Chains A and B, each alone.
Chain A
Amino acid sequence: MIMPVILWTDALIFLLVAIVTGFALYARGKPHLRAPWHHVMCSRLGSMAVVILCAYIIIGLLDSLHYRPAIENSDASAETHYAVEVLSVLDVLVGPLRTRTEKTYSAPFATQLFSRETVQHPDGSQTRKYPRLEYGGRHLENPAADARADILQRSGIALTQTLAAGLAVLLLITLWQARRRQLAFMASLRDILARRTAVPWLIILITLSVLLLLTFLAINLATAYHVLGTDKVGEDVFYQTLKSIRTGLVIGTLTTLIMLPFAIFMGILAGYARGWIDDLIQYLYTTLNSIPGILLIAAAILMLQVYMANHPDAFETTLERADIRLLFLCIILGITSWTGLCRLLRGESLKLREAEYIQAATAFGVRHSKIISRHILPNVMHIVLITVVLDFSGLVLAEAVLSYVGVGVDPTMNSWGNMINSARLEMAREPVVWWSLLAAFLFMFTLVLAANLFSDAVRDAFDPRLRQR
């Protein structure tokens, strides 16, 4: 028995997924809405970025399905109790990664602890040696000699699995393309391999294969070793980075989701209504903008901390506490970041309201609300979209800085910022503990790079000024 738990951020994520799905269904039959997205997929870097982002999003979504497991009870008739620990579907999938904690630091693929310990022998003598890890490489009889061969063997298995899966994907894409374009199977295959298709399927396939290889490597190796080592308290670093993905995605997407209605409404209103409304909204965002963002965030987070200290029983589990803090961070980041979009929309609406089709609509006596929703809003949506996508990577990066300053996500929550923060001191150790930093760097860099490439592709596809060139 399990008890599903829907955290605040989970609910908002599902809302976002619903909005995106709804829009996708709506846009399916509308060529003018589909065309720019097709353009995104046709660019090489864009399609690559989409595949990588999808992988991150899948992990993030799996990590957003939370539940509380029931506590095993020998008495069947008794009321079931649920553990205070909230788990997610991702925790189930990665299974042992979460629970197999060592004593302290261990390097990637190590079979011994990173630091020497004094071991008491049965005869009373003491020696200082590197003790075996409890879990990493446990299946090996003689780790020093066998580890390398074992790792190679497992990698070999992963490679074969990747080849098989990659070929299967190629087969599926070819079949699908052959059916859609009514080609013979071989002709379709030749087109794909020779990169003669509009959408660069070969590149998508290669990116996908790399991701598959990483997945299979993780499946084969991470079950037997700590592929990215363990941290100070012996937790698997690979598990931490996987869990951090959700935090990064939540900050990058929910912040925009929260600020979006506000920015769109105020921006269009200011540009369309002009006069004193315009002055008021301009005053509002100039004032907010002039406060250094980090100080506003710090002030708000400190407020939240005071509130939480005064209301300790408002939150059932530590995860719920951390989640509220994450949501609050998103809100406050939204408050400090809506001004840029608002200013852009105001300028565009000012321009649009003088356009002939709007003047015509006004002359026909169309209501203001209708003009805004039917004529202005669709024509500024490209600005909204470009801004949203551009902001994403900046917000993911901002999380790390905020966590360093101490006003970021909850210290108990897995996030890249928290990982970097603790890794800072590890770099000063002798010998250096480098794997936490490397893990956070790799995962964060890949996500932000993919997001940046994606936003470039989106901007090229949606910005009318760029499209004409």
Chain B
Amino acid sequence: MFAYIVRRAAYAIPILIGVNLLTFYLFFVVNSPDDMARLHLGVKRVTPEAIEKWKAERGYNKPLLYNEAVSGSERFTKTIFFEKSVKLFAFDFGYSDDGRDISHDIAQRMVPSLAIAIPSLLVGLLINISFAMLLAFFRGTYVDVSGVILCVALMSVSAMFYIIGGQFLLGKLLRLMPISGYDGGVDAIKFLVLPVIIGVVSGIGSSTRLYRSFFLEEAGKDFIRTARAKGLKESRVLFRHLLANAMIPIVTGVVVILPLLFMGSLLLESFFAVPGLGSYTIDAINRQDFAIVRAMVFLGSVLYIIGLILVDVAYTVVDPRVRLS
């Protein structure tokens, strides 16, 4: 198992190199630093000196791949590619275009992101699994049919409507909780309730439907019939036999997104003005701060690959029939 994980981690390296090359190509070759400078300084009234100054302040004034002006190994290290892309591998994200330390920002913003993501995930799982089991229990009846149609209707609503509607209804009309904002410490809870509720509600439709299909898949299998034939109570069949087996795909589906929880939710965080990584990303896109976008791309890829490895491990844990080789 350990050897397997090491091998999978080694397999991640070429992928990260690929991601890195792609982002380097997109941000520095297709879109030259000159273009970036012009975009930031405004197209009009921009002098070559201003561009040079902007580039020099941010370290974009070096050659892309090979520096002829210096000697030795510095020919490769005093380049944009080395300083901006290779250093990402050491999780050295450098400074954003307006001069802030990206690593520090990321570390600080991870907490609010997780404060929304983890409760949403747990509450959501509990609710979705309960609903899915309910529908599976009533399979074939009107409860099931109308429940599934309701799920389809719920998943047809854009997440934006859930957020705007929730803010309007719970925040503005009923005045139950603040519409947006964030505070450190225990005070954060009152700001977090609304985003978590909306995060959970917006996911109910699709997840319940998916989990219901997992339950039905297992419900048609022989061991369920055997359990009933043995005369077990329906509740015991449901919880001991059905739930335990349907949890396999559910758990693996959750594990794959676990690392990505760190990235936060783009929409929730920006609508509720929570200073997490999701709103950080959106702000960076809006301010066209490419340094942050590059850092987030790299971080996202790393977390995605970690998720893939975790899933393989999770399979062996929840399903003893699976062996890694």
Specify the main secondary structure of chain A where it touches its partner.
Answer: helix
Is there a chain B Cβ closer than 8 Å to A400's Cβ?
A: yes
Is there a chain A Cβ closer than 8 Å to B141's Cβ?
A: no
CA distance in complex: A452, B209 (Å): 12
When distances are taken between beta carbons in the complex, the residues of chain A under 8 Å from B172 are 427-428
Q: Taking A295-B297, A302-B288, A303-B31 as contacts, is the C-beta distance between A404 and B160 under 8 angstroms? A: yes
Is there a chain B Cβ closer than 8 Å to A294's Cβ?
A: yes
Is there a chain A Cβ closer than 8 Å to B282's Cβ?
A: yes
CA distance in complex: A420, B159 (Å): 11
Contact between B35 and A310 (Cβ–Cβ < 8 Å)? yes
Contact between B157 and A445 (Cβ–Cβ < 8 Å)? yes
CA distance in complex: A310, B281 (Å): 26
Is there a chain B Cβ closer than 8 Å to A401's Cβ?
A: yes
When distances are taken between beta carbons in the complex, the residues of chain B under 8 Å from A294 are 266, 281
In the complex, which of the residues B161, B164, B300 contacts A292, with contact meaning CB atoms closer than 8 Å? Answer: B300
User: Which B residues, 111 to 163, have Cβ-Cβ distances below 8 Å to chain A?
Assistant: 149, 152-153, 155-161
CA distance in complex: A397, B267 (Å): 13
In the complex, which of the residues B164, B286, B290, B301 contacts A423, with contact meaning CB atoms closer than 8 Å? Answer: B164
CA distance in complex: A441, B290 (Å): 34
When distances are taken between beta carbons in the complex, the residues of chain B under 8 Å from A448 are 156-158
In the complex, which of the residues B27, B156, B167, B301 contacts A452, with contact meaning CB atoms closer than 8 Å? Answer: B156
When distances are taken between beta carbons in the complex, the residues of chain B under 8 Å from A300 are 26
Q: Taking A290-B15, A303-B31, A420-B164 as contacts, is the C-beta distance between A397 and B22 under 8 angstroms? A: no
Is there a chain A Cβ closer than 8 Å to B64's Cβ?
A: no
In the complex, which of the residues B152, B167, B293 contacts A295, with contact meaning CB atoms closer than 8 Å? Answer: B293
- Within the complex, the shortest CB–CB distance from A294 to chain B, in Å, comes to 6
Contact between A302 and B31 (Cβ–Cβ < 8 Å)? yes
Contact between A290 and B19 (Cβ–Cβ < 8 Å)? yes
When distances are taken between beta carbons in the complex, the residues of chain A under 8 Å from B158 are 397, 400-401, 416, 420, 441, 444, 448
When distances are taken between beta carbons in the complex, the residues of chain B under 8 Å from A54 are none
User: Which A residues, 412 to 448, have Cβ-Cβ distances below 8 Å to chain B?
Assistant: 416, 420, 423-424, 427-428, 432, 437, 441, 444-445, 448
Most buried by B among A283, A302, A420, A432: A302
Is there a chain A Cβ closer than 8 Å to B99's Cβ?
A: no
Contact between B15 and A287 (Cβ–Cβ < 8 Å)? yes
Contact between B152 and A298 (Cβ–Cβ < 8 Å)? no
- Within the complex, the shortest CB–CB distance from A444 to chain B, in Å, comes to 6
- Within the complex, the shortest CB–CB distance from A395 to chain B, in Å, comes to 12
Binding site for A on B (CB under 8 A): 14-15, 18-19, 22-23, 26-27, 30-31, 35, 38-39, 43, 149, 152-153, 155-161, 164, 167-168, 172, 263, 266-267, 281-282, 285-286, 288, 290, 293, 296-297, 300-301, 304-305
Place the interface of chain A in its size category.
35 or more
When distances are taken between beta carbons in the complex, the residues of chain A under 8 Å from B152 are 449, 452-453, 456
Is there a chain B Cβ closer than 8 Å to A393's Cβ?
A: yes
CA distance in complex: A299, B25 (Å): 11
- Within the complex, the shortest CB–CB distance from A296 to chain B, in Å, comes to 8
CA distance in complex: A437, B161 (Å): 8
Is there a chain B Cβ closer than 8 Å to A406's Cβ?
A: yes
Q: Taking A295-B281, A302-B288 as contacts, is the C-beta distance between A290 and B301 under 8 angstroms? A: yes
- Within the complex, the shortest CB–CB distance from B147 to chain A, in Å, comes to 14
- Within the complex, the shortest CB–CB distance from A457 to chain B, in Å, comes to 11
Given contacts A287-B15, A287-B22, A427-B168, 8 further A-B contacts (CB under 8 A): A295-B297, A299-B297, A397-B159, A400-B158, A401-B160, A448-B157, A449-B153, A456-B152
Is there a chain B Cβ closer than 8 Å to A360's Cβ?
A: no
Contact between A449 and B297 (Cβ–Cβ < 8 Å)? no
CA distance in complex: A299, B28 (Å): 11
When distances are taken between beta carbons in the complex, the residues of chain B under 8 Å from A292 are 263, 296-297, 300-301, 304
Contact between A291 and B19 (Cβ–Cβ < 8 Å)? yes
- Within the complex, the shortest CB–CB distance from B274 to chain A, in Å, comes to 16
Contact between A449 and B156 (Cβ–Cβ < 8 Å)? yes
Is there a chain B Cβ closer than 8 Å to A286's Cβ?
A: yes
Contact between A298 and B15 (Cβ–Cβ < 8 Å)? no
Is there a chain B Cβ closer than 8 Å to A407's Cβ?
A: yes
Is there a chain B Cβ closer than 8 Å to A70's Cβ?
A: no
CA distance in complex: A223, B257 (Å): 51
When distances are taken between beta carbons in the complex, the residues of chain A under 8 Å from B296 are 292, 295
In the complex, which of the residues A309, A400, A444 contacts B43, with contact meaning CB atoms closer than 8 Å? Answer: A309
Which single residue of chain A is at the shortest CB-CB distance from B179? A428
CA distance in complex: A441, B163 (Å): 13
A-B pairs, top 9 by smallest CB distance, nearest first, are: A292-B300, A287-B18, A449-B156, A290-B301, A448-B156, A290-B304, A298-B285, A306-B35, A400-B158
